[in-house]
Chains A and B, each alone.
Chain A
Amino acid sequence: MLKSQGRDLISNRARMARLIYLAPGLTYIAIFMIIPLGILIFYTFFTRGTYGGVDFIFTLENYRRALDWLYLSVLLESILIAATTTILAFLIGFPVAYAITKLPSNWQNIMLVLIVLPFWSNFLIRTYAWIVLLNTQGFLNQGLINLGVLDQPLSLLYNPGAIVLGLLYAYIPLMILPIYSALVRIDPSLTESAINLGATTTQAFRQITLPLALPGVLVGSIFVFVPSIGNFIVPELLGGGKTVMVGNLIRDQFLKARDWPFGSVLALSMVFMLLMLFILQARVNRRVGSNG
């Protein structure tokens, strides 16, 4: 990998620089992620102990079980929910990020912090707040009933829609920050000259701003999609435990069934799928990067 890319062309100083930049981070990751990853991969080949723990009896049964339609359907539903969340996050987040870049510069920082500030209180509390707002005896329903708009309370919670709402609420800053970061660097004179040359604002936006913002959009999408798909608290609280997502599945295997080998297989499959997604995103980024 590192060696094959024209080694002779890279000077010694560059090699030193590369080492200084890459070594701290990669060593840290090697110790604290690669090894645990290795441990989990190791576990996938063995059997669950009768009362929990791992018996060192080699088996491929865990992999066979993972192909069961039950787990695949949970994966599919999770992808659907996470994808919906991501798309909504983009549709809301992009305009917001763009709007922030148009603000005077000191207001930009204030706005960014305002967006992030709710997340310095506790996730559980905020999620419960949605329950307080939306349950049948909650503020929204009781308010609408008192105003005469409704006779019966609306059942807004304990369904996949509520899960999307909760996930969107939890992760939308992770979409806004990277898009902002990408947009703010775009030279405004680019769009101005395009408009001077006869392009409409929309055309300038579509052909200049959007492509240059793409790396930020892709990063933001991954940042929303990945934790959405693995979250197990929102499906439990806002979904009423009636929808199972991959995160719940993994949690159940590790904690309830105490089946660490099988739980590891499920976790690793999820990592693998997300890695593929990520590599796809990286390829797209590189192409944009070389054109930009």
Chain B
Amino acid sequence: MRNSSKGMLAIIASAALFVLTGCGGSGSSSAKLDADADLASQKLTVSIWAAYSPEDLPSKFEEKFGTKVTITNHATNEEVMAKLTAGGDSGIDVAFVSGQFAQALAQQGLIENLDKSFIPNSANLVPEVANLTYDLGNKYSMPYAWGTTGICYRADLMKGNEPTSWNDLLMPKPQFKGKVTMLATERWLMLPAQKALGFSANTQDESEMNQVKDLLIKAKANLLAYDDTTFYERLVSGEAVMVEAWDGWCNYGIAKNKNIKFMVPKEGSDLWADTMVVLKSSKNKEAAHAFINYILDKDVHSWVVDNILYKVPNSAAMEKSLPALAADFPNMTISPSELLKGEGLVDLGKAAPLYTRIATEVTAK
């Protein structure tokens, strides 16, 4: 009795799955937005990293437009992706995800093409953003912050031995062994080795990735830990002297200890961007567009910069914020054209499992 009823359930579930998931098309499409929509009657749920936006942003937006904004946090891209791709309505209207994930969402038909007529402030963005490879022409995403990855280090503890190359991180000098960390997220775990060996950060070539793997396994012996979150605190405490870090993150360390410095190794690095996307399942698309537009306003975006110490691709905003920050946080002055020398990260498509497998092999050894 129990067995056959379980069987029935399985069949019903399968049928339901076919119907529901089979219906999702690929590629995004545009909704028709209503220019006269009453924003005060809409509500927004925004998913973003913790402390990655000014605390008063929701209330300031509500003051101006009447829309209630609820901020929900995710700690990693991967978590929010799982929620958004599980089918159904996640309850999220606007999501902040890194560029290559926006690309994946668009490919799965989960996000809207943006109606630029509702985002006039996108004119504030530097022209280079149209060349961001994960979304050429910014069809379905607007960049919020961008930067590059490099080495964040204690200059006072490394006098005379400052790093210049990714190899200084991967194969540190004996006195620095065991005081080095690398990022744990796979794309950034691979990056130093990929660049040190002269490969693309988006390579799907298995033989190249195997060489990357071998180099990373050798490097593991010198590592203190893989760390995505507290690496700058380790620099501050002195537990580590050199860490792989995103430029904005490094600034948090610099704010606590002036001896910390950031550099981009000579082999080059990546260009990453955190973007804003609108979910197709959102019932508040006008408010979502207004929110994105609000952020791209030069004063608001500048306020963001002052708050999170990351670079934004908004020339007017950067002009406003840089004077106060440039001296303390030199990596804020990296120009858009400099940044674009970095290799933009795109979704790996079919090669994603290869990267995960190699990451597993490296971390499991």
Contact = CB atoms under 8 A, between A and B. Distances in A.
B70 interface: no
Contacts of A143: none
Nearest to A254: B82
Which 5 pairs show the lowest CB-CB distances between chains A and B?
Answer: A240-B225, A241-B226, A257-B356, A255-B78, A244-B364
A225 interface: no
B42 interface: no
Contact of A242 (B76, B108, B223, B352): B223
A158 B82 contact: no
A254 B1 CA distance: 34
A181 interface: no
B224 A258 contact: no
A63 to B, nearest CB: 15
B32 interface: no
A56 B79 contact: no
Given A35-B13, A137-B239, A256-B186, A56 B108 contact: no
Contact of A30 (B9, B178, B225, B353): B9
Contacts of B360: 70, 74, 244, 249, 252
Interface string B260-274: 000000000000000
A147 B281 CA distance: 62
Given A30-B6, A252-B356, A52 B364 contact: no
Place the interface of chain A in its size category: 35 or more
Interface stretch (A42-50, A88-96, A269-277): A42-50
B227 A262 contact: no
A70 B364 contact: yes
Contacts of A53: 21, 24, 85, 108
Given A2-B2, A30-B5, A38-B6, 5 more contacts: A39-B13, A42-B10, A56-B21, A253-B356, A255-B81
14 contacts: A3-B1, A34-B6, A34-B9, A35-B9, A48-B353, A51-B103, A51-B104, A73-B364, A158-B224, A244-B363, A253-B356, A256-B186, A258-B82, A258-B85
A254 B85 CA distance: 11
Contacts of A73: 364
A51 B349 contact: yes
A258 B352 CA distance: 8
Nearest to B183: A241
Interface in A143-188: 155, 157-158
A257 B239 CA distance: 31
Interface string B1-27: 110011001100110011001101000
B160 to A, nearest CB: 22
B108 A49 contact: yes
B85 A257 contact: no
B117 interface: no
B339 interface: no
Given A52-B81, A258-B352, A241 B363 contact: yes
B85 to A, nearest CB: 5
Contacts of B85: 52-53, 258
B148 to A, nearest CB: 22
Nearest to A239: B225
A136 interface: yes
A222 to B, nearest CB: 23
Interface string B347-360: 10110110111011
Contacts of A210: none
B361 interface: yes
A240 B182 CA distance: 10
